Structure 1
Amino acid sequence: MSSQIVTVARKDFEDAGRSKLLWGLVTLLVGIVAVGYTAIWYVDPDAGAAEVLGFLGFPLQTIVPIAALIAGYMAVVGERRSGSIKLLLGLPPNRTDVVVGKLIGRVAVVATAILLAFALALVLGAVFFGSVPLVDWLGFAALTLLFGATFAGLAVGASAGVSTRGKSMALVVGVYMLFVALWELVTAGPYYLIYDEGPPVEPATWYLVVDQFNPMSAYTTVANGVIEGEVFPFAFQYGLEDFEAATMTPAERYPGEAPFYLQDWFGIVVLLFWLVVPVAIGYYRFTKTDL
């Protein structure tokens, strides 16, 4: 890694860290962890620490993507909007340094928030439930860091690929709504049109392949294999798909031995896809733009 990338990343981390809205969301996440652990201990003090760790799944799904998108959507386009991008590129950093440095800086901001939440969960788990599920904690924390980096990458890619703040915001909001509110319509809707019925528990294989590419469900699928507590995807349901089917993983819905691309661990590949591809597209557009 070049020194210029490190310089850009360090400055970007400091700039992104000044966002009051971002840190408001971080405070909310940490507060939910504190209140949630306290409430569970009060209601069921005999609950297992590893099982309680699954409680984090819902607040993490709702807040981490929003925080990551807020952290990243102005990363590059903000410099273009202020005119400072010309000054920055007039110095040693080139366009590659800018995009990679911005990505690292914004991911670092999101990672800091996630680690604060998990550190608190670790402490409260030990205090309230008398044990520390260290293996589960480490696996879940690492997965959530990748989850946060995925949405930060989406935002930085959008920011690098467009010329205005409004376009970047529209892209990240649209992507978030696609994953959370519209995914069933986009995937199960065409299935209904083709087969004249919603996807059953064992649908056509192509549907399982497409459906698993929602990073929200990919995150929960992998999480359920890492921790004891059950984590459900945060997504709107419109009744096009059977409710029981919607709670099952692609591997569970495949008749017989699931191929590798439908197994639970493939969710990590899905998250990496949404991290790398948008950044690559945004970077390509940024390199071709006349500033």
Structure 2
Amino acid sequence: MWTALATHEFRRFRHARGTWLYIGLCAAYTVVWLLEPRSETESIDAIGSSVAVGSLQASLGVLVMLGGLVAGFGAIVGDRESGTMTVVAGMPHTRQDIVIGKLAGRAAVIGVGIAIAVGCAIAGELLLYSSVSFLQLLAVVAVTGWYALCWVAIGIAISTLARSSTEALVGTVGTALFALQWGSVSWIAYGWFGSTGSISGHYLFARRLAPREAYHVVTNWILGVGNGDDVFLPMLTQRETDVDVIGVFVVDASGSAPVYLSEWLSLLVLGLWAIVPLTVAILRVRTTDLA
């Protein structure tokens, strides 16, 4: 069963120094933010005390992405090179179980970092604002957990396609850089095929096809700061002041955006970013020599 493999993967990584470094980074960012001088009066009036959870959005968008890729990229090729995969493949479970087990176990490690960061945010909200919206918080946590699953699945897919750990590392670094620069890449592509003099719905749609931007759209929706793929503070500023701070992101804060720019579609995009890489990984593992 894949659950036994998932438990093994989680136990395997829970004592690793890299795991605790990652958890420490998630906690450190939250603590540093909580110690900053408080200047969000307008933000709190607009969305309530959830400003603390909202402020985690930008860091989680990057930390979860990097953590998921690092957790996933050595899952198959690393074990194959070390010889561990020979033992795993010889156990009484299917190759699909191997992929799902590694996905679940390694995503759980990222989940610990998310839980620490969110826990600090809850403490901050209770300490600073004496209230917290648990319904909103649970929704953000659920979406962030699925977002972590997306990146671990992408990392594992890279691991199954790579012929060596070096090749997997190069693919992982390239994927991370491409994802971080997706806004610039999509803008350049838009300039080639469209017009950079104005912003069209098609350009905004292209931006939302990336997992991090789709995550921003969905969490902005939950936080109630409008329909856009930027992080929530600029979104909130633009909504409250009607000033285009970044110059691109908000389509319509009232909910009347076209269907292809709806939050539901971004939720579907997030779903596909977990399902498609997982499917690729399973098909690859079924047809390749794991020894």
- Do the structures match in fold with TM over 0.5? yes
**Is 2:218 the counterpart of 1:222?**
yes
**Is 2:200 the counterpart of 1:202?**
yes
CA RMSD of aligned residues (A): 2.6
Spell out, residue by residue over 1:9-29, the C-alpha distance to the aligned partner (whole angstroms, 9 max, x if none): 100111122332232122111
Spell out, residue by residue over 1:64-113, the C-alpha distance to the aligned partner (whole angstroms, 9 max, x if none): 11111111111121210111211221121221111111011111111121
Match of 1:237 in 2: none
Match of 1:108 in 2: 108
Aligned counterpart in structure 2 of residue 247 of structure 1, from 246, 249, 252: 249
Spell out, residue by residue over 1:15-50, the C-alpha distance to the aligned partner (whole angstroms, 9 max, x if none): 122332232122111111122123244x56895422
* Unpaired runs of at least 5, structure 2: 233-243
Count, aligned residues:
272
CA distance in 1, matches of 2:89, 2:149: 25
Aligned counterpart in structure 1 of residue 2 of structure 2, from 5, 9, 12: 5
CA distance in 1, matches of 2:126, 2:167: 45
**Is 2:44 the counterpart of 1:30?**
no
CA distance in 1, matches of 2:32, 2:204: 37
**Is contact 1:37-1:124 (8 Å) kept?**
yes
**Is contact 2:158-2:171 (8 Å) kept?**
yes
Gap change, CA 1:129 and 1:18, over 3 Å in 2: same
Which amino acid is 2:180 matched to? V
1:30-179 to 2 correspondences below 5 Å: 30-41=27-38, 47=44, 48-179=48-179
Cα displacement (A) at 1:189: 2.3
Gap change, CA 1:36 and 1:81, over 3 Å in 2: same
**Is contact 1:218-1:270 (8 Å) kept?**
yes
Q: Secondary structure at the match of 2:230?
A: coil
CA distance in 1, matches of 2:268, 2:86: 36
* Unpaired runs of at least 5, structure 1: 235-241
CA distance in 2, matches of 1:283, 1:167: 19
CA distance in 1, matches of 2:107, 2:189: 35
**Is contact 2:26-2:116 (8 Å) kept?**
no
**Is contact 2:53-2:118 (8 Å) kept?**
no
Cα displacement (A) at 1:232: 2.8
**Identity across the alignment (%):** 24
> 4+ residue stretches of structure 1 with deviation over 6 A?
none
**Is contact 1:53-1:229 (8 Å) kept?**
no
Cα displacement (A) at 1:233: 4.4
